[in-house]
Amino acid sequence: MGTMATINIRTDLETKKEAEQLFEEFGLTMTSAINVFLKQVIREKRIPFEIGYENPNELTANVLKEAEEGKNLSPVYESIEEMIDSLHA
């Protein structure tokens, strides 16, 4: 194992208590459960569950609409050199 780092997160007390109770039933601590999550994200290169929304706020709704219309999207580059050249343009 490499050098250890500390991550501080904030959550409401009820969420923390409920999560700790479930993790304990699974035989995990909060730290080990969060490490499992982080390692899974790294392994799969994605959030390992679906994140949905029902009622996006106005900003999110506008961004989603623009993305669907192909507006304000980042260009796709064939190489790092092409990307760097576009940054200097």
- pLDDT, one tens digit per residue, over 27-86 is 999 999 999 999 999 999 999 988 776 777 888 888 888 888 888 888 888 888 988 888
**Helical axes 30-44 vs 13-26, angle rounded to 10°:** 80
pLDDT band for position 1 (cuts 50, 70, 90) = low
77: its two tokens: 């580059």
Decide which of 21 and 89 is more confident.
Answer: 21
CB count in 10 Å sphere of residue 28 = 16
